[in-house]
Amino acid sequence: DTGVSQNPRHKITKRGQNVTFRCDPISEHNRLYWYRQTLGQGPEFLTYFQNEAQLEKSRLLSDRFSAERPKGSFSTLEIQRTEQGDSAMYLCASSLVFDRPEEFDTQYFGPGTRLTVL
């Protein structure tokens, strides 16, 4: 299966610790998105990259959150000094976007990383 993969699938940490998640997009997809989903809600956008450039960040992404995609392939999302409110499912999606305006962005999602902050 060459879909989007995310590691780890589950992470339990204590408040105040740092955590890092990894996302591997579908091969050759140039866009990579991060979302967060809490129970009973739809996913909320955090940030996205086109190749290695971070094009947009949500106001949800506080200073404790940082995302990178250094070589335009995989991406990492780091949360520093975790808080209980950070407990959520963190989703990654990727897509292939061309320059022509009629080629639209269809995002394919990974299985997510479930973070529990104790």
Under the rule (CB under 8 A), what is the footprint of another protein?
A: 33, 35, 40-45, 48, 55-56, 58, 91, 97, 101-102, 104-112
| Shortest separation between residue 99's beta carbon and another protein, angstroms | 11
11 vs 82 by CB, closer to another protein:
11
- Shortest Å distance, C-beta 69 to another protein: 16
DSSP string, 22-73: EEEPSTT--EEEEEEE-TTS--EEEEEEETTEEEEE-TTS-TTEEEE-TTSS
Tokens of 35: 């979302």
Is 70 or 101 the residue whose CB approaches another protein more closely?
101
How far apart are CB 17 and another protein at their closest, in Å?
Answer: 26
Distances (CA, A) of 26 to 33, 59, 82: 12, 27, 29
Per the structure block, which two tokens stand in for 9? Answer: 């699938």
Tell the smallest beta-carbon distance from residue 104 to another protein (Å): 5
Contact 25, 113 (CB under 8 A): no
Nearer to another protein, 72 or 111 (CB): 111
